[in-house]
Structures are given as structure tokens and as C-alpha cells.
Amino acid sequence: MGRKERAKERREKRLQEISLLRTIPYSNHQRWCCVVHDQSSLLYMWIVSCKLEFWGIWFVRDLRWWSSETVAVVTGGNRGIGFETVRQLADHGLTVILTSRESSTGLEAANVLKELGLSVDFHQLDVLDSLSIKKFAEWIEQTYGGIDVLVNNAGVNYNLGADNSVEHAQNVVATNYYGTKNVTQSLIPLMRPSAVGARIVNVSSRLGRLNGRRNRLEDKDLREKLANLETLSEELIDRTVSTFLQQVEEGTYTSGGWPQMFTDYSVSKLAVNAFTRLMAKMLSDRPDGQKIYINCYCPGWVKTAMTGWAGNVSVEDGADTGVWLALLPDQTITGKFFAERREVNF
């Protein structure tokens, strides 16, 4: 069996494990998932799930920290991974605010979920528009008083391979990175005090990894600066994406050492990953009761409109890790990158 076949087999087995974990109520399996996910035997997984389901009442305390009063925001929630994230969070009993740039599609999506009996609200939000973000934050404060969970899902991608344009590059970086950054910074003041901490989850991608074997940033010095929390700064991240966009305008980006696959998207997610680590550091000194934990994750190659429906991961599995991170009990994990409920290197 070749390397690709073995990798595919491992991925399929992991997705089977996750699907099995998802059959167990979150309040029962949360404490165990860090142990279970390192086991390779599906039989073992089945035994553990049976124990938790039938005997859990005897030895696992209820780890459900949320209620219908818990408010989550999901950006870009009108379709794909965002819509599924809204559905799963609401299905777990949270009140979820679904946002989208277009009011008509957002309202339609929210109404579909409301008809299922889920607690879903809608508000228009264009992550590219600072005034839209400001109005959204004001509405949240007036309507709910604050939020407990933020999932930054809104994102776009245009280019395939080496195909590119200035307009597309600017829009991808503005939406995926600056949109995530601006929404996060605007909503942090509205994140409510909590004994378990508020949570921010950024939807990212392995394509934005600094040290991947393929499709990585070739500038070693820049990689090291972005990887080092002592040298990482918002200015450095902004300067990195600005340099990339300038080279796109000049037509020199292909020789600039940038990722070669889905270049715009990869650079934007590299910035999201760096921003996640930076914010974790900046938020780390908040006192108990006011903690905010921020992580990012890769949903995989999901079968959505963004991938041209060519993905090999369902939207249910694609949203799973984000929901898992949002609902972890006694959360102390922050500034990390996950895929399939496992921590992976940046």
C-alpha cells in the first residue's frame, strides 16, 4: 500500500471514530475524548461509547456548562460549514445568532432552522464593512447583553493553482483575515464573564501552516518570526499580507516564496493562524471568570460550494471540530490549531 493510500485509510478511520464520538452526548464524552482519540481500534471506541452511554451516569459528572441562555455567533452562517455549525450548536441547546452578508439568504437559512424548533436568530453582517460590524455589535449588546461563543466562519476562495487576480487576492485577504480580525476585536468587549470562559473559534486551513512539507512559506526568516510568540505582532501579520498583495499587484508573487496551491487562500489562513496565536497571548492574562479562549481548526476538504462540491468530507464532519472546541468543558486550551479533534502543528 502506497503512502497516499495509507493516509487515506487513516483519514477514513479517523472520520469513523469522530462519527462514533458524535453519537455520545457531549455532556458525557467530553472528558474522555482526549483519551479516546488516540486509540486506533474502532472496537475499543465502541466499548468506550457503550460504557459512557449506559454507565456514564455512575461515574461521569455532567459536563454541560451551557444552556439556552448561552449565546453563540456564527459568521457566514447561511450555508455550508457555517450553516451546519449553527445547526449543531443550536441542536445542543444554545441560542445561536446566524449572520450573513445578504439578508435574504440569511433570513431564509435561519427560518429553516427555526422550523426545526431550534433557537436561532439572524442579523445581517458584512465582515468587510466596519460600519456593519459596529451596528452588529451594538445590536448584540442591546438585544442579548453579550455573547459567550464566537465562530469566525465567513470566508471566500477564488483561485485554483496559479490562477490569480488582484481583485480576488484583495477580497480573499480582506474577508478571511481582516474580516476575522475586525469582528473578533469588536466583539471581545461583549464576551460575557463565565466560570468556564468564553470561546472564540476561527475556521482556518492546513494550507496556512507555517511548516508544512508542501505549500509552505519559503522565507525561513519570516516563518521564524511568525512562529515565535516573542516576535509575533499584529503589525508583522499585517505587513506580511500587505507584502503579498503588493507582489500580486506587481505580478511578482509567483517568485516571492508564497504557497503555490490556493495562494490567496493559503496566505489569508496563514494570517488567521498567526492572529489566533497572537490573540491567545494577548488574552492570557485576563483574570478568572473573565477568561477568553481562542483556537482555530481546519475542517478538511469539505463538500461545499467553496470546493465546487468536490470535497471528501461532509459538512457534518467539517463543522464537528469547531463545535467541539466551542463546547469543551473547563476549557484551558488556547492558541492551538486542530483538525479532526486533534491538535496539529502550525
Please give the positions annotated as active site.
265
- Amino acid identity at 215: N
In this structure, which long-range contacts are made by residues 286-292, counting pairs with CB atoms below 8 Å and at least 24 apart in sequence?
288/195, 289/193, 289/194, 289/195, 290/193, 291/194, 291/197, 291/198, 292/188, 292/191, 292/197, 292/198, 292/199, 292/200
Q: Give the ranges where the chain is alpha helix by DSSP (H).
A: 3-21, 26-29, 33-36, 42-59, 80-91, 103-114, 130-143, 166-173, 180-187, 220-227, 234-250, 263-283, 315-327
H helices within 63-163, ranges in order? 80-91, 103-114, 130-143
CA-wise closest residue to 140 among 96, 86, 193, 181: 96
Q: Give the separation between CA 254 and CA 248, rounded to whole angstroms.
A: 8
What distance in Å separates the CA atoms of residue 15 and residue 206, rounded to the nearest whole number? 17
What's the full length of the chain, in residues? Answer: 346
What cell numbers appear for 168 in the block?
480576488
Q: Phi, psi (5° rounding) for residue 123?
A: -150, 140
344 closest CA partner among 56, 85, 37, 81 = 37
Q: Which residues pair with 293 in a beta bridge?
A: 199
Cell numbers standing for residue 48: 468506550
- DSSP H or E run through 98: strand 95-100
Report the C-alpha gap between 334 and 58 in whole angstroms. 31
User: Pick from 137, 125, 237: which is nearest to 181 by CA?
Assistant: 237
